[in-house]
Amino acid sequence: MKPNLISCIVPVFNGERYLGETLDSILAQTYQPLELIVVDDGSTDGTATVAASYGERIRYIWQANAEETVARNLGLSVAQGEFVAFVDADDLWHPEKLARQMARLQERPELDLSFSHYQNFWMPELAEEAKLYQQRWLAQPLAAYWIGTFVARRAAFTKFGNFDTTKHPAAACMVWYLRAAERGAVIEILPEVLTYRRLHTANLSRANTLEAMFPILRAW
């Protein structure tokens, strides 16, 4: 484990369209040092080609399709950093995301997990939906225990275990957060918007927001 290194883990399945933008937003972070790990969950599009174009700046791992939870755990198993962060292959980070969260983690040695606010943004093909939500909660900065916003000490996964691959992918991360909190994890949510969640036609959670909550309730 390398002190102060953040391992940034990107699970991806058929993410050719947006992966490059996501990787660029990680590589543009003002914080260093970083380790960038892309775990390809059996993509059949040009994802591998996009990843290869980054050369030695990233570590690319391929697995047979097994869902994003397995991909996240695989990334964890090879991560060398004292800290870990995750981002989906279609979302973006503010350039100072990691710097601001690491400052808090260094100020508060007891802190296990640092989250931040995030902001949804819509792709042009969803212009009508974006207009519909313009004045509603979904278009406002949001605070949540969401995988795309957090930085954690690697030791937190030693204390609380990895993500449970027996749970529905929509539930696995939230169940992990809730169980970590139940077992005494120290958690903070920063007020700044540091992650941008892209909404597009292929978002499963966008199309099935309520349905995505049912596995969490059942698992909990």
Tokens of 195: 């992650």
Give per-residue pLDDT as tens, 51-92: 999 999 999 999 999 999 999 999 999 999 999 999 999 999
- pLDDT tens for 3-55 read 999 999 999 999 999 999 999 999 999 999 999 999 999 999 999 999 999 99
pTM score, two decimals?
0.88
In which band, very low, low, confident or very high, does the pLDDT at 209 lie, cut at 50, 70 and 90? very low
Q: Is 71 exposed, middle or buried (0-12, 13-18, 19+ CB in 10 A)?
A: buried
- For tokens 């350039």, name the residue: 95
Give the list of residues 6+ apart from residue 100 with CB closer than 8 angstroms, or none: 116, 190, 192, 194
Tokens of 197: 């969640």
* pLDDT on residue 220: 39
The C-alpha atoms of residue 59 and residue 57 are separated, in whole angstroms, by 7
Residue 214's pLDDT band (boundaries 50, 70, 90)?
very low
pLDDT of residue 208: 46
Q: Which long-range contacts (CB under 8 A, 24 or more apart) does 206-212 make?
A: 212/170
Apex CA 91: angle with CA 177 and CA 143, to 5°? 45
Residues with Cβ within 8 Å of residue 196, at least 6 apart in sequence: 91, 92, 93, 94, 118, 119, 120, 121
CA angle 14, 24, 119 (to 5 degrees): 80
Residue 131 has pLDDT above 90, yes or no: no
CA distances from 32 to 24, 49, 114, 152, 214 (A): 14, 26, 17, 16, 39
Q: What is the mean pLDDT of the chain?
A: 88
